């Protein structure tokens, strides 16, 4: 408890200082949430002495004292996911995170994990994978990529790690159109999504599916379409990467998921969140599919 108490005190001072320095942050803390990746990274560094995920739990508790809700996702997707599952009455949803990248940074499952949920994290990058072994020992962590057939594929490591991909087309587009560089190419084992489900998820989709596999998303949608039991909630990247913000929405991908029985619940521009429409309507007593008012579970 000594480290925990010290961390909370340091966190309180850290947040209050940021609020004084940034008036806009004060509104976020009081009214909604902060998706400040630099703040998240700084706070994690403050707490490295704590074992396991105790550091994250500690500053989440401290954060709540100031009226905020900590988001680990790129643009608050994890708070939307939590909201949907609350409405569905699922207290601790299971998850499958494809292209998980990091257990905390830009993670759509970190917040669920802090609240006792467990799942499967699939991350092909050998260096990033070690962070999951360290920080998510209660999860199943799988160091492979997702592909159309099992085997070994060339993995393109880019100068921006979040752009790493198995798609040569996507890697070369990032070089040609966005000015990035391919740092190295290395062979990495890959599995099909059905094989991942069979080996690590008892053959079925968990409650929540998060997808960020840079140009290979259609493979996942095809499996969802063919699967009898689908994930209740899906978060998937639906815009092409563009440094200048000129990315194009993949309306075909969005339409394919809607054709699988999903309601397009929310869009953060980068990602789109879907919930199985029949579950959502049942949760609202056959209502129109509009979200419940604030404060409702």
pLDDT of 71 reads 78
- Is residue 50 predicted with pLDDT exceeding 70? no
**How far is Cα 257 from Cα 213, in angstroms, rounded to an integer?**
16
pLDDT digits (tens, 9 = 90+) for 74-118: 888 999 999 999 999 999 999 999 999 888 888 999 889 878 899
pLDDT at residue 61, as a whole number: 59
Which residue in the block uniquely carries the two structure tokens 């100068």?
159
What pLDDT score does 286 carry? 57
Give the mean model confidence (pLDDT) for residues 259-273: 94
Looking at 7-11, 233-237, 256-260, 272-276, which range is the least confident one?
7-11
Mean pLDDT of the chain: 79
pLDDT band at 27 (very low <50, low <70, confident <90, very high): very low
pLDDT for res 127: 84
For residue 121, is pLDDT > 90?
yes
**SS3 of residue 183 by DSSP:** strand
Higher pLDDT, residue 21 or 57: 57
Q: Which of 32-46, 61-75, 96-110, 137-151 has the lowest mean pLDDT?
A: 32-46
Least confident of 175-189, 241-255, 262-276: 241-255
* pLDDT tens sequence across 234-246: 999 998 767 777 7
Report the distance separating Cα 117 and Cα 88, nearest Å. 15
Indicate the burial class of 49 (C-beta count within 10 angstroms; 0-12, 13-18, 19 or more).
exposed
Angle of helix 2-21 versus helix 37-46 axis, rounded to 10 = 150
Architecture of domain 77-283: 3-Layer(aba) Sandwich (3.40)
Ramachandran class of 129: left when φ > 0, alpha when ψ lies in -120 to 50, beta otherwise: alpha
Reading phi first (left if > 0) and then psi (alpha if -120 to 50, else beta), residue 215 is in left
Domain boundaries, the chain: 2-65, 77-283
* 208 and 231 Cβ atoms separated by less than 8 Å: yes
Least confident of 49-63, 106-120, 140-154: 49-63
Q: How far apart are CA 283 and CA 88, in angstroms?
A: 6
């Amino acid at each position: 408890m000594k480290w925990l108490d010290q961390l909370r005190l340091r966190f309180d001072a850290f947040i209050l200082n940021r609020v004084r320095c940034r008036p806009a942050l004060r509104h976020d803390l009081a009214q909604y949430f902060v998706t400040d990746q630099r703040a998240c990274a700084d706070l994690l560094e403050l707490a490295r002495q704590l074992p396991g995920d105790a550091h994250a739990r500690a500053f989440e508790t401290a954060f709540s004292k100031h009226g905020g809700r900590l988001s680990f996702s790129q643009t608050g997707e994890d708070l939307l996911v939590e909201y949907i599952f609350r409405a569905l009455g699922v207290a601790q949803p299971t998850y499958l995170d494809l292209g998980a990248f990091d257990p905390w940074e830009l993670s759509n499952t970190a917040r669920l994990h802090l609240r006792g949920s467990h799942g499967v994290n699939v991350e092909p990058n050998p260096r990033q994978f070690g962070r999951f072994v360290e920080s998510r020992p209660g999860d199943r962590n799988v160091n492979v990529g997702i592909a159309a057939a099992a085997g070994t594929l060339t993995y393109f490591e880019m100068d921006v790690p979040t752009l790493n991909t198995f798609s040569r087309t996507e890697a070369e587009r990032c070089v040609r159109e966005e000015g990035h560089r391919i740092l190295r190419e290395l062979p990495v084992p890959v599995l099909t999504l059905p094989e991942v489900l069979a080996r690590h998820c008892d053959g079925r989709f968990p409650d929540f599916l998060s997808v960020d596999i840079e140009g290979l998303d259609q493979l996942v949608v095809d499996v969802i379409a063919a699967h009898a039991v689908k994930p209740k909630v899906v978060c998937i990247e639906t815009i092409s990467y563009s440094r200048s913000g000129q990315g194009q929405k993949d309306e075909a991908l969005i339409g394919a998921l809607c054709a699988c029985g999903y309601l397009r619940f929310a869009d953060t521009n980068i990602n789109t969140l879907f919930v199985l429409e029949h579950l959502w309507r049942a949760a609202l007593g056959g209502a129109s599919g509009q979200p419940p008012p604030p404060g409702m579970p």
